[in-house]
Amino acid sequence: MGIGNLVKNISRNQGFLSALLSAAVFMSACQPASEPSELIANLNASHIAEVTSVTAIPREPLAQEVYIWQRQWRPANQTALAQSQGVFQGLRILALQAHPKPNGADIWFEVAVNHAWLQADPRPKVAVIRLDGQLSHLNDEAVIHKISQVLNSWQAKGTHITGVEIDHDSASSKLPTYRDFLKKLKAQLPAELKLSITALPAWLNSTDFPALLTYIDELVLQIHSVSDPRLGLFDATQGWQWVQQLSNISTVPYLIALPAYGSAVISTASGYKVESETPLRGQLNDSHAVEELMADPQVLQAFVHKLQSRTDAKLKGIIWFRLPLEGDKRVWPLDTLIAVAQQGELTAKIELVISSDNDIQTTLATENKAKSQQILKPQLFQLSLINRGNIAGDIPASLSLAGQACSGYDAQNGYRVKQKNGLLIWQWRAENTATLAPTDTAPSATNMPMPQAHKQTQKHMLNPVGQKVIGWARCESLYLQGIYAP
């Protein structure tokens, strides 16, 4: 606290101190004499406690924003925008993207966002310009002209933005060139627009990084990627080290970009490739092992809690990548993202659904809710597992069902079925749970442990809103027996 503020607080509470002093003098007439030093010490302690209670200001929770990264907008965008308004305070919207070509002629793709939906959303909006890191050069005039065209188009359509964010994964060696580009762009942007950039953790070790901050208003540190498939998309320990490192370097406000998505890691003879937004398997000539990676909601929730406790005034918030849409299999469901962001409960709710032509019977896999079905003739039942929770959960290792007059049955998707003591028992095949094997060496293209080639790995986890058909049976009746314990 500054001396000036302390003086103000003392003046503001002068009446309180006078009353306190008078009370102390009055009490001294009724009590044994005290040393003057004791009286002064007591008064000082009381004043300090009172001043502290008046001036202490709790830290506001970090703002949380979300990226809208779809290149094709559809009705699900409108739904997700409406459902996320009460949770995320800002939107970062992919507006323009540049792809490099071998002949040097870059391809520009402008996202056809729905401006009516954006304008109906009251949250602050930032237009994001994605410049591929593989661009051989930044043609300053051409790039700035393209950006200006998009901004003018959005303005003409009535969509107000508060800033522009440049997403360019530049090599560390090219940061001086990138800095020059940002200087020219900043000079031509309207003064009311903030200029933000995304930053790679590798830049933090470059001596050219601090100079990059001269011409921007805000930084977004991206601490999610597949640098080591054994660690997934997000390594919390490493991520925290990067946050601390940036805190010591940055001269501008910054936000932390966190993952709420998944990717596939595909093994090849030369190492591994990451498939996220762009399909890669169709470009490969033969089959390869595939490992699906998904950011762990529990790990990210703990990381958010830790970020909220930071006292660095330059840390302004969190940005989630990306806004979930219905049907997107490589992103958390929206209720999972909301629970993580708001430190809510994360739980898996695996249910067994037994369906037939005449009826659908849902049985909680963790509760004994067996009930008989009055079936007069054999029916074909389908068995499915559904996760109605907001976090991935283990599928049951064994499910025992009581069947009456069963004439046939089979299992699928990693399960096998057998008949024993009048029950049909579906069991998970443990040999199908092959995953990436850990090693003690640092990852590289040559020693990175990957799934065996020509073998599709299978998980024993079921993602939120995920469904897995595990088999069928033709019986007169079929229902779950006992309590399943994973």
- Position 482 scores a pLDDT of 61
- Position 96 scores a pLDDT of 97
Q: How far apart are CA 236 and CA 222, in angstroms?
A: 13
Question: Is residue 230 over pLDDT 70?
Answer: no
- Position 275 scores a pLDDT of 61
- Position 399 scores a pLDDT of 95
- Position 252 scores a pLDDT of 98
Question: Is residue 445 over pLDDT 60?
Answer: no
> Does residue 250 or residue 43 have the better pLDDT?
250
- Position 333 scores a pLDDT of 94
Q: How far is CA 4 from the centre of its chain?
A: 43
pLDDT band at 219 (very low <50, low <70, confident <90, very high): very high
Q: pLDDT digit string (tens) for 372-402?
A: 444 458 899 999 999 999 999 999 999 999 9
Domain 350-480 belongs to what architecture? Answer: Sandwich (2.60)
- Position 168 scores a pLDDT of 96
Name the β-bridge partners of 363: 352
Q: pLDDT digit string (tens) for 315-352?
A: 999 999 999 999 888 899 999 999 999 999 999 999 99
Above pLDDT 70, what percent of the chain? 70
- Position 226 scores a pLDDT of 53
Contact 92, 65 (CB under 8 A): yes
- Position 272 scores a pLDDT of 58
Contact 266, 280 (CB under 8 A): yes
Q: What does pLDDT average to over the chain?
A: 80
pLDDT band at 32 (very low <50, low <70, confident <90, very high): very low
Q: What is the pLDDT averaged over residues 130-136?
A: 85
Q: What is the pLDDT averaged over residues 301-319?
A: 96
Contact 45, 17 (CB under 8 A): no
Q: State which CATH number among 3.40.640.10, 3.30.1490.190, 3.20.20.80, 3.40.50.1010 fits the domain covering 63-260+295-341.
A: 3.20.20.80
Length of the chain: 486
Residue 190: C-alpha distances to residues 119, 155, 156, 164, 416 (Å): 20, 12, 15, 10, 64
Domain boundaries, the chain: 3-55, 63-260+295-341, 350-480
Element (H, E) at 303: helix 297-308
pTM of the predicted model, to two decimals?
0.76
